[in-house]
Amino acid sequence: GYLANLGEFFILENAELLNEVDQLSRNIEHIKEVVAMQQSYAKVSGVFENLQAHRLVEDAVAMNIGAFERHGVEVERQFSAVPPIRVDRHKVLQILINLIRNAKYALDDVERIDKKILISISAPNGRYIQIVVSDNGVGIAPENLTRIFAHGFTTREGGHGFGLHSGAIAARSMGGAITVASTGIGQGATFTLELPIASNASVT
């Protein structure tokens, strides 16, 4: 009867609320982990260390994981075994977070169900490793490829335009570089971060 239906309704409502509370708790735990991670990186800013590239990438991905889940973005990894890199971990993390966020933003405006970011790590030579962040998002117009690292350049509403500019400067300060490739609007984009291998380093 009516009371039985009402009871069933409240049971379902309660289950949904408990599920939302559980999800919220997990999100809060994730936020706490991200804050702790950011604080640990902030403490060592300006210090050059021998570091594993895949760990830096995983930390940058972890700081964006909530946005990926909300927007249905799949992150694929292709990590080769590479030697340690000699870098400032804070600068590298900031660059990677920005590249990954930009890839996520590029997927916001595309109507497709297979939104994907591919992150690969390789060592094409004995001097540098490459961290490549590719997306199948909106792509970049040919005329913007040469302007994209300029201070203040952005095509995103509300964007400030200094992320890639400061990232390129940070990469150069560590003896590395950032490059971009895109075959045009609707064709996705690929950003490549090159960073120097630590001297006397072996593949791990």
Rounded distance, CA 49 to CA 122, Å? Answer: 19
Q: Please, is 66 exposed, middle or buried when counting C-beta atoms within 10 Å of its C-beta (0-12, 13-18, 19+)?
A: middle
pTM over 0.85: no
Tokens of 92: 């590298």
pLDDT digits (tens, 9 = 90+) for 61-96: 998 888 888 888 999 999 999 999 999 998 999 899
Give the model's pLDDT for residue 153.
Answer: 54
Secondary structure of residue 136 in the 3-state scheme: coil
CATH code 3.40.50.170 for 48-196: no
In the chain, the percentage of residues whose pLDDT exceeds 70 is 77
CA 15 to chain centre: 34
Q: What separation, in Å, do the N-terminal and C-terminal C-alpha atoms of the chain show?
A: 67
Rounded distance, CA 111 to CA 122, Å? Answer: 31
Q: What is the mean pLDDT of the chain?
A: 82
- CA torsion angle for 161, 191, 141, 105 (degrees, to 10)? -60
pLDDT digits (tens, 9 = 90+) for 32-53: 665 665 665 555 567 899 999 9
Rounded distance, CA 179 to CA 149, Å? Answer: 9
